[in-house]
A = this chain, B = another copy of it.
Amino acid sequence: MRGVVMHAPGDVRVEERPDPRIELPTDAIIRLTAACVCGSDLWPYRGIEKLEGAAPMGHEYVGVVEEVGGEVRTVRPGQFVVGSFWASDNTCEICRAGYQSGCVHRTLMGTIGTQAEYARIPLADGTLVATPEMPPADLIPGYLAASDVLGTGWFGAVAAEAGPGRTVAVVGDGAVGLLAVLAAKQLGAERIIAMSRHAPRQQLAREFGATDIVTERGDEGIARIKDLTGGLGAHSVVEAVGTQESMMQAINSARRGGHVGFVGVTHDVALPGMDVFNALVHLHGGPAPVRRFLPDLMRLIGERTIDPGKVFDLDLPLDRAADGYRAMDERRAIKTLLRP
């Protein structure tokens, strides 16, 4: 089969890879309907995260089940399925508490590589959620978003305790940040402040429910958030970047007693203890337990209550994956969808 392999920073190729096969009786094989490029794929692409040799890429996926192992009970061949970027058993104590991304048997899909024609999904019963029927083509991007960026933005908003009566600020205008805006809106937030200086992203943030846009960053951005919140800071802040500046901007934009949900994968971040102590905020984040939210999110997408697929502004055949990476790297695209 064909699949994306990264050989070095900036060097992404679509090449022949071995067809996946059932390795464990809990596995399923899916034929990918669509996959995509994640903001986190750009870290190795930019040479910031080290590559250990040539790596199959991709961890987001929607597809049709081709084959299941002997112990798989909840999905069957022919079904359209969505799964999280962490495979999880969904039965252990950590999963039952809603932290499937911390499952004791978790497997990172990134090591498998879903930017491909087929993929093996470990722990299929725990990982995959099937739609009631084959979805129409225009909903494919939405379901694909649920696999990671929507679930991650949603977790960020939940971790920040976005809800009725709350003012929510979102740091980061990538796909995750934009979908955190959508999540905050769905969760009932009263006011949603998107921090963005890019007009097309500001526009999408407004479509998703942002009531205010703040273009300033760093201390000036914090001051603007304080201005908009009676000097107190936001109740809830979602951090969706992962740098030192964005983490401190998020922590210092929250009011004392407020909540920061951080979902940007951190790089070269060190949180000064005294600043975190004095901020007196709640901090929660990490790899999103997307599986917790997946059934609800898929229902909202299927009912057309939400349209998270709007974050895909570039739609390419798999063979043009390299163009898709480049467009995101140069910030010409928010997020690239790839069709095998």
Question: Which of chain A's residues 242-276 have a Cβ closer than 8 Å to chain B?
Answer: 242, 244, 247, 255-257, 262, 265-274, 276
A278 at the interface (CB under 8 A from B): yes
A218: chain B residues at CB < 8 Å are none
Within A210-243, the residues touching B (CB, 8 Å) are 230-232, 242
**A102 near B265 (CB under 8 angstroms)?**
no
B269–A272 contact, CB under 8 A?
yes
What's the minimum C-beta distance from A253 to chain B, rounded to whole angstroms?
Answer: 15
At the interface, yes or no: A8 with Cβ under 8 Å from chain B? no
- Are A273 and B268 interface neighbours, CB within 8 A? yes
> Which residues of chain B are near A104, meaning CB under 8 Å?
231-232
CA of A102 to CA of B284 in the docked complex: distance in angstroms?
A: 20
Is B93 within 8 A of A256, CB to CB? no
**With contact pairs A267-B273, A270-B271 given, residues A283 and B286 touching in the complex (Cβ less than 8 Å):** no
CA distance A271 to B251 in the complex (A): 14
Q: Is A97 an interface residue (CB 8 A)?
A: yes
A98 adjacent to chain B (CB < 8 Å)? yes
Q: Is the pair B283, A284 in contact by a Cβ cutoff of 8 Å?
A: yes
Choose one: B99, B230, B280, B283; the contact of A256 (CB below 8 Å). Answer: B99
- Min CB distance, A277 to chain B, in Å? 5
Interface size class of A (residues with CB under 8 A): 35 or more
A282→B282 contact, CB < 8 A: yes
- Tallying the copies of this chain within the complex gives 2
A286–chain B nearest beta-carbon distance, Å: 4
Contact of A282 among B232, B280, B283 (CB under 8 A): B283
Return the contact of A232 from the options B94, B98, B257, B280 (Cβ within 8 A): B94
Q: Tell me the complex Cα distance, A285–B102, Å.
A: 23
Interface residues of A in 85-135 (CB under 8 A from B): 93-94, 97-99, 101-102, 104
A274 touches B269 (CB 8 A): yes
- Tell me, yes or no, whether A295 is within 8 Å of chain B by CB: no
Q: What residues on B are CB-neighbors of A265 within 8 Å?
A: 277
Output the residue of A102, A104, A244, A265 with the most chain B CB within 10 A. Answer: A102
> A186 CA to B284 CA in the complex, in Å?
26
> What 9 pairs across the A-B complex have the smallest Cβ distances?
A269-B273, A102-B256, A266-B273, A99-B257, A280-B286, A270-B270, A271-B271, A283-B283, A282-B284
A-B contact pairs, 27 of them (CB 8 A): A94-B232, A94-B256, A97-B257, A99-B256, A102-B255, A102-B257, A102-B280, A104-B231, A104-B232, A242-B273, A244-B273, A247-B273, A266-B276, A267-B273, A269-B272, A269-B273, A270-B271, A270-B272, A270-B273, A276-B285, A277-B285, A277-B286, A277-B287, A278-B286, A279-B286, A280-B287, A281-B286
